[in-house]
Structure 1
Amino acid sequence: MRLRLEHLPAAPRTPVSRFVHRPLDGAFHTAAQFDPPFPPPVPGQGHPLWTLEHRGHELHFASPEEMAHVAEVLGARVLPKPRVLGAEQSAVNSHWLSRMDKAWLSWKVRQEIVRRLKDELERLAR
């Protein structure tokens, strides 16, 4: 399992983004302002995008808040139903958890994912 950081010229949006960043000025795909806001670009590098790789699959994060959200959801011993997680946004069958590869969903793997994400969040807080 590997977590890497890269920088992109345009602000990325991930499958997790719309469940964390609430648009303040319109629909998610057209909004320019969000709560919490997406991270600003790093001067000379671009917008951050974290990628967690495991067993040939990837999960992308556009912000530390997204990593915290995924760690919270996957850290539950019994996973919540994606239908419940996406209900607030009428996205009952398109929540990121319902699209996650089954190889990532065992308790042992989820514990490692949560550990990696929390380590990165702790590093970013310093």
Structure 2
Amino acid sequence: MRTPVSPYVHRPVDGAFHAAAQFEPPFPQPEAGKGWPVWILEHRGHELHFASPQEMAHVASVLGQKILPDPRVLGAEFSAVNSHWLSRMDKAWLSWKVRQEIVRRLAAALAQLGHL
């Protein structure tokens, strides 16, 4: 499972992102009989999907900044700025108050998973 956040957290080791088989940090392995793990944050009628706890931590780190960084600062190439996960995020989630709520929920989920 790969999400819009994946290319900015899981860097390919052996080629282009979509063709790579190895990543750093690695993606979680599929669970027997269940498939790939996926975490979903639902907040105010919208969802964010995560393929790993590292992606949740990355999003919490970015959204926790009072002034949101430009997608280019986060690794988006100039031609792909509008396809960056932050650029595509629902506008209802971008106010500082809502972002603080999201960061708290992500931090609680990460703590529950033992990743804080």
When normalised by structure 1's length, the TM-score is: 0.83
Q: SS at the partner of 2:39?
A: strand
1:31 aligned to which of 10, 14, 20 = 20
Of 20, 35, 50, which residue of structure 1 is paired with 2:9? Answer: 20
Aligned to 2:55: 66
Pairing of 1:5-16 with structure 2 (within 5 A)? 12-16=1-5
Which residue number corresponds to residue 123 of structure 1?
112
Q: Is the contact made by 1:24 and 1:33 (CA closer than 8 Å) also made in structure 2?
A: yes
Q: Which amino acid aligns with 2:53?
A: P
CA apart distance, 1:53: 1.3
In the alignment, what sits opposite 1:42?
31
Aligned residues: 115
Listed as ranges, the gaps of 5+ residues in structure 1 are 1-11
Stretches of structure 2 lacking an aligned partner (at least 5 in a row): none
In the TM superposition, 1:78-97 aligns within 5 A as 78-87=67-76, 91-97=80-86
Aligned to 2:90: 101
Q: In structure 2, how many angstroms separate the alpha carbons of the residues matched to 1:114 and 1:36?
A: 22
- Rounded to whole Å, the distance in 2 between the matches of 1:39 and 1:110 is 26
Residue 89 and residue 51 in structure 1: after superposition, are their counterparts in 2 closer, same or farther (change >3 A)?
A: farther
CA contact (8 A) 2:43 2:102 kept: no
Question: Structure 1 residues 92-101 or 68-77, which shifts more?
Answer: 92-101
Which range moved further: 86-95 or 45-54?
A: 86-95
C-alpha contact (below 8 Å) 1:86/1:92 kept by paired residues:
no
Identity of aligned residues (%): 77
Q: CA RMSD in A?
A: 1.7
More strand per residue: 1 or 2?
A: 1
Q: Is the 8 A contact 2:12 2:22 kept in 1?
A: yes
